[in-house]
Chains A and B, each alone.
Chain A
Amino acid sequence: MIKLTRVFKTFDGGRSYAVKDLSLSVDWGETLVLLGSSGCGKTTTLKMINRLIEPTKGTIEVNGRDVMDHNPVDLRRQIGYVFQEIGLFPHMTIEQNVEIVPRLLGWSIRSRRERMQELLDLVGLPAERFAERFPDELSGGQQQRVGVARALAANPTYLLMDEPFGALDALTREALQQELLTLKNQIKKTIVFVTHDLHEALLIGDRIAILHEGNLEQIGTKKDILDTPATKFVKDLFAIKRPSIFT
Chain B
Amino acid sequence: MSFDALVAYILERLPELWLRTGEHLMLTGCSTLSAMFIGIPVGILLYRTTWLRGPMMGVIGILQTIPSLAMLVFLLALLKKIGVMPALIALTLYALLPIARNTLTGLEEVSAEVMEAAEGIGMQEYQQLMMVRIPLAAPVIVAGIRTAAVVGVGIATLSAFIGAGGLGQFINRGLALANTNLILLGAIPAALLALIVDFSIGAFEWGLRPERKRDKKGSVQSLMRQLAFMLPVALVLIGIVTYFTKPGWISESATQLETGHRIVRIGTKNFTEQLILGEMMAQLIETKTDLIVERRFNLGGTMICHGALVNGEIDLYAEYTGTGLTAILKHAVISDPEEALHYVTKTYHERFDLQWLKPFGFNNTYAISVRAADAAQNGWNTISDLKESAKNLLAGFTAEFAERPDGYPGLRQAYTLQFGDVRDFDPSLMYEAIRNNEVDVICAFATDGRIAAYNLKPLKDDRNFFPPYHAAPVIREEILKTHPELGDVLSLFGGLIDNARMQRLNFEVDGKKRRTAEVVKEFLKAKGIL
Contact A100 B116 (CB under 8 A): no
* Residue A233 CB within 8 A of the other chain: no
Q: For the complex formed, measure the closest distance between the CB of B405 and the CB atoms of chain A, giving whole angstroms.
A: 62
B124 CB contacts on chain A under 8 angstroms? 73
A90-B209 Cα distance, complex, nearest whole Å: 11
Contact B135 A150 (CB under 8 A): no
Q: For the complex formed, measure the closest distance between the CB of B384 and the CB atoms of chain A, giving whole angstroms.
A: 78
Contact with B along A57-100 (1 / 0, CB 8 A): 00000000000000001111100010101111111110000001
Stretch at the interface among A2-10, A16-24, A129-137, A167-175: A129-137
Contact of A91 among B117, B120, B135 (CB under 8 A): B135
Q: For the complex formed, measure the closest distance between the CB of A153 and the CB atoms of chain B, giving whole angstroms.
A: 9
A77 CB contacts on chain B under 8 angstroms? 121-122
The residue among A50, A86, A87, A132 with the most chain B CB atoms within 10 A of its own CB is: A87
Contact B122 A83 (CB under 8 A): no
Of all chain A residues, which has the CB nearest B136? A91
* Residue A237 CB within 8 A of the other chain: no
A52-B123 Cα distance, complex, nearest whole Å: 12
Contact A76 B121 (CB under 8 A): yes
Chain B: interface residue total (CB-CB under 8 A): 18
* Residue B403 CB within 8 A of the other chain: no
Chain A: interface residue total (CB-CB under 8 A): 28
Given known contacts A90-B136, A133-B213, A137-B212, A76 and B122 CB-to-CB distance under 8 angstroms? yes
* Residue B113 CB within 8 A of the other chain: yes
* Residue B497 CB within 8 A of the other chain: no
* Residue B114 CB within 8 A of the other chain: yes
* Residue A101 CB within 8 A of the other chain: yes
Could you count the A-B residue pairs with CB atoms below 8 Å apart for me: how many are there? 64
Q: For the complex formed, measure the closest distance between the CB of B371 and the CB atoms of chain A, giving whole angstroms.
A: 71
Q: For the complex formed, measure the closest distance between the CB of A131 and the CB atoms of chain B, giving whole angstroms.
A: 9
A88-B210 Cα distance, complex, nearest whole Å: 15
Given known contacts A87-B114, A90-B136, A150 and B210 CB-to-CB distance under 8 angstroms? no
Q: For the complex formed, measure the closest distance between the CB of A193 and the CB atoms of chain B, giving whole angstroms.
A: 16
Contact B114 A89 (CB under 8 A): yes
* Residue A240 CB within 8 A of the other chain: no
Of all chain A residues, which has the CB nearest B125? A73
Given known contacts A76-B122, A91-B136, A83 and B210 CB-to-CB distance under 8 angstroms? no
Contact A91 B210 (CB under 8 A): yes
* Residue B127 CB within 8 A of the other chain: yes
A50-B210 Cα distance, complex, nearest whole Å: 31
Contact of B123 among A73, A83, A88, A150 (CB under 8 A): A73
Contact A87 B117 (CB under 8 A): yes
Contact A150 B114 (CB under 8 A): no
A134 CB contacts on chain B under 8 angstroms? 210, 212
* Residue A245 CB within 8 A of the other chain: no
Query: Can you list 12 A-B contacts with CB-CB less than 8 angstroms, sorted by A residue number?
Result: A47-B120, A50-B120, A52-B120, A73-B123, A76-B120, A76-B121, A77-B121, A88-B114, A91-B132, A91-B136, A104-B121, A134-B212
Q: Which 4 A-B pairs have the closest CB atoms?
A: A87-B117, A76-B122, A77-B122, A85-B113
Identify 15 new A-B residue pairs, CB closer than 8 A, beyond the known A87-B113, A104-B121: A77-B121, A81-B120, A87-B120, A88-B114, A89-B118, A89-B132, A90-B114, A91-B132, A91-B135, A101-B122, A104-B122, A104-B123, A132-B213, A133-B212, A133-B213
